[in-house]
Amino acid sequence: MSHVTIHGLSKAFGDLEVLDDISLDIAAGSFVSFIGPSGCGKTTLVRVVAGLERASSGSVEVDGTAPEIARSRKRVALVPQQPGLLPWRTVRSNAHLLLDVNRAANPSDAANSNELLREVGLGDFMEAYPHELSGGMQQRVALVRALALHAPLLVMDEPFAALDEITRAEMRVLLNQLVEGRGVTVLFVTHNIAEAVALSDRVLVCSPRPARIVADVAIDLRRPRSRDIEDDPRFVELCAEVRHSLFGAMRP
Amino acid sequence: MKRRAVAPLVGIVLFFAAWEGFVRAFHVRKFVLRAPSGALSYLWRFRGDYLDAAWVTVQHSMIGLLLALAIAIVVGSVLASNRFVERATQPILVLVQVVPWLAYVSTVVLWLDSGDASALFMVTLVCLPAFVFATVDGMRNVESATLELMSSVDASRREVLYRVRLPSAAPTLFTTARFSVGLALAIAYYVEGVNLSNEGIGAIGRKAAADFNGVDRLWASVFSVAVIGISALLLLSILERTMLHWHAAQRTEPR
């Protein structure tokens, strides 16, 4: 069953063409990464799917409806590049933020954000304030905040870009644990090949702007994935495949 | 912690001792500069009158300040969401801010008659622009990630306003309040002097200034206003510490 359907999507900001005739089908419950050079338009692509930006032409459907409608029903949970935590709210209260606004659209089966905080190892930091947390911990709160919404679609825009390499590797393991078995569809924007391969069922390689999908790499690594997935020879092969299509697309 | 509380007291005591010592040692003439002990003992002798007057001045300055803050939050919320209205309003606010209020205060007293109204009006009016600018700046100074997040769940403008923008404006509002305390007191003091109501520290000060023998009375009113100002600042810093404990400025310990 497809969760997100994109057909002939183009997007321009004035004269600047950002997305060029993109068509995609994204299966429900799959983890799909978009990788491409900086400024290629992959962020714009997921923003259109999240209903934060309108397509110039073409159609996008989320849950069989327009992205704006999915957004107003709180069917899309966003994890932005910066955690965007509110400094005056505690961890517990930040994790609950998306459920506190537009309450009318809250799902009846919203997840217990306290439970989730414990799951990501923040059980002892519920009453802490964001400034007392490390960057990785802040991003974990941002993850919980999104998951607490219990939305079927998770849109993550380079969520780990600001983290150091070690924390980043930890976050990959954690994110795999969190989404496996939850059945959510994830759209994940990244610059990092290993991150894309370790997390995804499918890696879509974008061309430089205006973005087109130049390669669609199926990641056939077993799940559940643990820390040592990155030692698997198949992982290394897949990384090489993604890298080749990425740099192939960047050659003029 | 203890040292931090003691240090300002030491400073004040030393300052008054130096003043007192200077006046006594050089026999400074009475109408040039009085020793603080004269004014302080005068203040103590007529403490009842000064307390009554101080209470009036506290109300004029602090209610005026609170009114300015309340109006600024409403006006600022509108301006922060509409660039056109903001640009249209800005010249008026700047005018209020730059035109010396002393120049038109007597006109206001004529309009509003003697009494509380003129004092409150002047304090509110003159303190308003800074609060409005602080509100607009603070409300705009929100991380774009946060706004994006709010819009990703279709939060209404009202929700964004009171859950995100208003709390973001709190630190700049506190800073503005701290700077405005002195201004509010100066205006209250002056208007009380000219509005013929015979109420408030300003009325005492005005009459004392016109009286050749009123030096102690005048300085007693100066000290009264100083005490009000310092108390207001202390109260503000306590409020700030409790309400904005999350704010970065509150975390830096002086070394």
A95 at interface of B, judged by CB pairs closer than 8 A: no
pLDDT in tens, A185-239: 999 999 999 999 999 999 999 988 888 899 999 999 888 888 888 899 999 999 9
CA distance A226 to chain B (A): 30
Whose structure tokens read 């080749």?
A: A244
pLDDT in tens, A39-63: 888 999 999 999 999 989 999 999 8
Q: At B125, which amino acid appears?
A: L
The per-residue pLDDT for B28 is 86
Torsion on CA atoms A85, A91, A92, A94, rounded to nearest 10: 0
User: Which chain A residue lies closest to B251 (C-alpha atoms)?
Assistant: A131
CB contact under 8 A, B145 and A80: yes
Helix ranges (H only) for A65-134 are 67-72, 91-95, 97-100, 113-119
pLDDT in tens, A13-45: 988 888 888 999 999 999 999 999 888 889 999
3-class DSSP state for residue B225?
helix
B2 at interface of A, judged by CB pairs closer than 8 A: no
Please provide the average confidence, as pLDDT, over all residues in chain A. Answer: 90
Q: Collect all residues of chain A within an 8 Å Cβ-Cβ radius of residue B251.
A: 131
| Closest Cβ–Cβ partner in B149, B163, B247 for A78 | B149
Q: Which of A54, A94, A97 to mutate to test the interface with B (most CBs of B within 10 A)?
A: A97
**Contact of A64 with A70, CB cutoff 8 Å:** no
A181: left (phi over 0), alpha (psi -120 to 50) or beta: left
The per-residue pLDDT for B60 is 95
CB contact under 8 A, A83 and B247: no
| Closest Cβ–Cβ partner in B148, B154, B167 for A105 | B154
CB contact under 8 A, A80 and B150: no
Neighbours of A152 (CB within 10 A): 19
Short-list A88, A130, A133, A131, CA closest to B240: A88
CB contact under 8 A, B149 and A74: no
User: Which chain A residue lies closest to B249 (C-alpha atoms)?
Assistant: A131
Q: Collect all residues of chain B within an 8 Å Cβ-Cβ radius of residue A155.
A: 152
Structure tokens at B77: 């919320």
Q: What is the pLDDT along chain B (255 residues), one digit of tens a residue?
A: 567 778 888 998 999 999 999 999 998 887 778 889 988 999 999 999 999 999 999 999 999 999 999 999 999 999 988 889 999 999 999 999 999 999 998 888 888 877 789 999 999 999 999 999 999 999 988 888 899 999 999 999 889 998 999 999 999 999 999 999 999 999 999 999 987 778 899 999 999 988 888 888 999 999 999 999 999 999 999 999 888 888 765 554 443
Give A 63-82 residues with CB within 8 A of chain B.
Answer: 71-72, 74, 76-78, 80-82
B251 at interface of A, judged by CB pairs closer than 8 A: yes
The per-residue pLDDT for A182 is 86
User: Which chain B residue lies closest to A101 (C-alpha atoms)?
Assistant: B155
CB contact under 8 A, A82 and B145: yes
Give A 139-168 residues with CB within 8 A of chain B.
Answer: 149, 155
| Closest Cβ–Cβ partner in A84, A87, A129 for B149 | A84
Structure tokens at A92: 């517990």
The per-residue pLDDT for B210 is 87
